[in-house]
Amino acid sequence: MKNLLIAFVACCLQVAAVAQTKIEKDLQGTWKMTEMNMGGIFVNATTKEVKLSKEVESKITPEMRKSFNANKQLVLDKIVKSRVSFAGKKVNYSIDGVEKAGTYIVKSQGDAYLLTVTGTDGSQGTMQLAIKDGKLRIVNNDDKGKAEMVFTKIAAK
Protein backbone atom coordinates (compact mmCIF):
# COMPACT_ATOMS: atom_id res chain seq x y z
CA MET A 1 0.00 0.00 0.00
CA LYS A 2 2.86 2.35 0.86
CA ASN A 3 4.44 1.76 -2.58
CA LEU A 4 1.11 2.49 -4.25
CA LEU A 5 0.83 5.79 -2.37
CA ILE A 6 4.39 6.78 -3.34
CA ALA A 7 3.66 5.92 -6.99
CA PHE A 8 0.46 7.98 -6.89
CA VAL A 9 2.26 11.02 -5.43
CA ALA A 10 5.05 10.69 -8.01
CA CYS A 11 2.46 10.50 -10.79
CA CYS A 12 0.69 13.63 -9.48
CA LEU A 13 3.98 15.54 -9.34
CA GLN A 14 4.78 14.49 -12.92
CA VAL A 15 1.36 15.67 -14.15
CA ALA A 16 1.85 19.03 -12.39
CA ALA A 17 5.31 19.43 -13.95
CA VAL A 18 3.98 18.64 -17.45
CA ALA A 19 1.08 21.11 -17.00
CA GLN A 20 3.48 23.83 -15.83
CA THR A 21 5.77 23.21 -18.82
CA LYS A 22 2.77 23.44 -21.18
CA ILE A 23 1.62 26.79 -19.80
CA GLU A 24 5.15 28.19 -20.07
CA LYS A 25 5.31 26.99 -23.69
CA ASP A 26 1.87 28.48 -24.42
CA LEU A 27 2.96 31.84 -22.95
CA GLN A 28 5.80 32.27 -25.43
CA GLY A 29 5.18 35.09 -27.89
CA THR A 30 3.64 38.55 -27.91
CA TRP A 31 0.17 39.26 -26.57
CA LYS A 32 -1.94 42.41 -27.03
CA MET A 33 -4.41 43.56 -24.42
CA THR A 34 -8.02 43.36 -25.56
CA GLU A 35 -9.91 43.85 -22.29
CA MET A 36 -9.33 45.34 -18.86
CA ASN A 37 -11.44 45.66 -15.75
CA MET A 38 -10.00 47.90 -13.06
CA GLY A 39 -11.63 49.83 -10.27
CA GLY A 40 -15.10 49.32 -11.69
CA ILE A 41 -14.15 50.48 -15.18
CA PHE A 42 -14.46 47.85 -17.91
CA VAL A 43 -12.77 48.42 -21.27
CA ASN A 44 -13.11 46.21 -24.34
CA ALA A 45 -10.78 47.37 -27.11
CA THR A 46 -12.33 44.98 -29.65
CA THR A 47 -15.87 46.33 -29.31
CA LYS A 48 -14.66 49.86 -28.39
CA GLU A 49 -16.80 49.68 -25.26
CA VAL A 50 -16.00 51.49 -22.01
CA LYS A 51 -18.44 50.90 -19.16
CA LEU A 52 -18.67 51.80 -15.50
CA SER A 53 -19.88 49.48 -12.77
CA LYS A 54 -23.09 50.39 -10.94
CA GLU A 55 -21.02 51.29 -7.89
CA VAL A 56 -18.83 53.72 -9.86
CA GLU A 57 -21.87 55.12 -11.71
CA SER A 58 -23.51 55.95 -8.38
CA LYS A 59 -20.47 57.94 -7.20
CA ILE A 60 -19.65 60.13 -10.18
CA THR A 61 -20.69 63.73 -10.54
CA PRO A 62 -21.86 65.35 -13.79
CA GLU A 63 -18.39 66.92 -14.18
CA MET A 64 -16.75 63.52 -13.74
CA ARG A 65 -19.17 62.05 -16.30
CA LYS A 66 -18.22 64.75 -18.79
CA SER A 67 -14.50 64.09 -18.25
CA PHE A 68 -15.06 60.33 -18.53
CA ASN A 69 -16.89 60.69 -21.84
CA ALA A 70 -14.23 63.06 -23.19
CA ASN A 71 -11.43 60.59 -22.33
CA LYS A 72 -12.96 57.31 -23.55
CA GLN A 73 -10.87 57.24 -26.71
CA LEU A 74 -7.67 57.94 -24.77
CA VAL A 75 -8.42 54.95 -22.51
CA LEU A 76 -9.14 52.72 -25.51
CA ASP A 77 -5.90 53.83 -27.20
CA LYS A 78 -3.88 52.91 -24.09
CA ILE A 79 -5.45 49.45 -23.97
CA VAL A 80 -4.86 48.84 -27.69
CA LYS A 81 -1.15 49.76 -27.31
CA SER A 82 -0.60 47.55 -24.24
CA ARG A 83 1.51 44.42 -24.87
CA VAL A 84 3.31 41.66 -23.01
CA SER A 85 5.99 39.42 -24.56
CA PHE A 86 7.44 36.20 -23.20
CA ALA A 87 10.69 34.84 -24.66
CA GLY A 88 12.29 31.98 -22.77
CA LYS A 89 12.26 33.12 -19.13
CA LYS A 90 12.27 36.82 -20.07
CA VAL A 91 9.27 39.10 -20.10
CA ASN A 92 8.80 42.59 -21.54
CA TYR A 93 5.66 44.59 -21.18
CA SER A 94 4.20 47.95 -21.99
CA ILE A 95 0.95 48.62 -20.14
CA ASP A 96 -0.64 52.04 -19.92
CA GLY A 97 2.59 53.60 -21.18
CA VAL A 98 4.74 51.93 -18.50
CA GLU A 99 7.48 49.79 -20.02
CA LYS A 100 9.35 47.17 -18.03
CA ALA A 101 11.51 44.13 -18.60
CA GLY A 102 12.56 41.26 -16.40
CA THR A 103 12.28 37.55 -15.79
CA TYR A 104 9.36 35.42 -14.71
CA ILE A 105 8.48 32.12 -13.10
CA VAL A 106 5.17 30.25 -13.19
CA LYS A 107 3.91 28.06 -10.35
CA SER A 108 0.69 26.07 -10.35
CA GLN A 109 -2.01 26.93 -7.83
CA GLY A 110 -5.02 24.64 -8.11
CA ASP A 111 -6.65 25.18 -11.52
CA ALA A 112 -4.73 28.40 -12.09
CA TYR A 113 -1.13 29.55 -12.02
CA LEU A 114 0.83 32.25 -10.27
CA LEU A 115 3.08 34.41 -12.42
CA THR A 116 5.90 36.11 -10.54
CA VAL A 117 7.74 38.81 -12.46
CA THR A 118 11.05 40.22 -11.27
CA GLY A 119 11.90 43.46 -13.05
CA THR A 120 15.40 44.48 -14.06
CA ASP A 121 14.92 47.33 -11.56
CA GLY A 122 14.47 44.78 -8.72
CA SER A 123 10.71 45.21 -8.44
CA GLN A 124 8.63 42.09 -8.05
CA GLY A 125 4.97 41.29 -8.55
CA THR A 126 2.86 38.15 -8.39
CA MET A 127 -0.33 37.75 -10.39
CA GLN A 128 -2.81 35.01 -11.17
CA LEU A 129 -2.48 33.64 -14.68
CA ALA A 130 -4.63 31.46 -16.94
CA ILE A 131 -4.84 30.68 -20.63
CA LYS A 132 -8.31 29.67 -21.73
CA ASP A 133 -9.87 29.66 -25.19
CA GLY A 134 -6.72 31.23 -26.63
CA LYS A 135 -6.90 34.17 -24.23
CA LEU A 136 -4.27 35.05 -21.64
CA ARG A 137 -5.92 36.25 -18.43
CA ILE A 138 -3.86 38.01 -15.80
CA VAL A 139 -5.31 39.19 -12.50
CA ASN A 140 -3.20 41.57 -10.45
CA ASN A 141 -4.46 42.23 -6.94
CA ASP A 142 -2.07 44.55 -5.11
CA ASP A 143 -2.18 47.58 -2.83
CA LYS A 144 -3.38 49.71 -5.77
CA GLY A 145 -6.44 47.50 -6.29
CA LYS A 146 -7.52 44.68 -8.52
CA ALA A 147 -6.90 44.71 -12.25
CA GLU A 148 -8.07 41.98 -14.60
CA MET A 149 -6.46 41.98 -18.04
CA VAL A 150 -7.22 39.83 -21.07
CA PHE A 151 -4.71 39.42 -23.90
CA THR A 152 -4.81 37.81 -27.36
CA LYS A 153 -1.66 36.37 -28.92
CA ILE A 154 -0.44 38.32 -31.93
CA ALA A 155 2.94 36.63 -32.51
CA ALA A 156 4.44 33.31 -31.46
CA LYS A 157 8.09 32.97 -30.49
Q: What is the pLDDT of residues 16-38, one digit of tens each?
A: 333 447 899 999 999 999 999 99
| Model confidence, pTM | 0.80
Over residues 102-157, the pLDDT tens digits come to: 999 999 988 789 999 999 999 999 999 999 999 999 999 877 778 999 999 997 76
pLDDT category of residue 90 using cuts at 50, 70 and 90: very high
pLDDT category of residue 5 using cuts at 50, 70 and 90: very low
Q: Among 70, 69, 101, 107, which residue's Cα sits nearest to residue 83?
A: 101
Residue 157: predicted pLDDT? 62
Are the C-beta atoms of 152 and 135 separated by less than 8 Å? yes
Cα 13 from chain centroid?
26
pLDDT category of residue 51 using cuts at 50, 70 and 90: very high
Number of residues assigned to the chain: 157
pLDDT category of residue 97 using cuts at 50, 70 and 90: confident
Residue 134: predicted pLDDT? 92
Residue 103: predicted pLDDT? 97
Residue 114: predicted pLDDT? 96
E strand map for 16-123: 29-38, 41-44, 49-52, 83-87, 90-95, 98-109, 112-119
Q: Among 139, 112, 110, 144, which residue's Cα sits nearest to residue 127?
A: 139
**What's the CATH class of domain 2-155?**
mainly beta
d(CA 129, CA 115): 6
Q: Among 109, 91, 111, 110, which residue's Cα sits nearest to residue 101?
A: 91
Residues 6+ apart with CB under 8 A from 10: none
Residue 22: predicted pLDDT? 86
Are the C-beta atoms of 128 and 146 separated by less than 8 Å? no
Are the C-beta atoms of 136 and 34 separated by less than 8 Å? no
Residue 147: predicted pLDDT? 92
Give the pLDDT mean for 29-56: 94
DSSP state of 4: H
Residue 55: predicted pLDDT? 92
d(CA 83, CA 115): 16
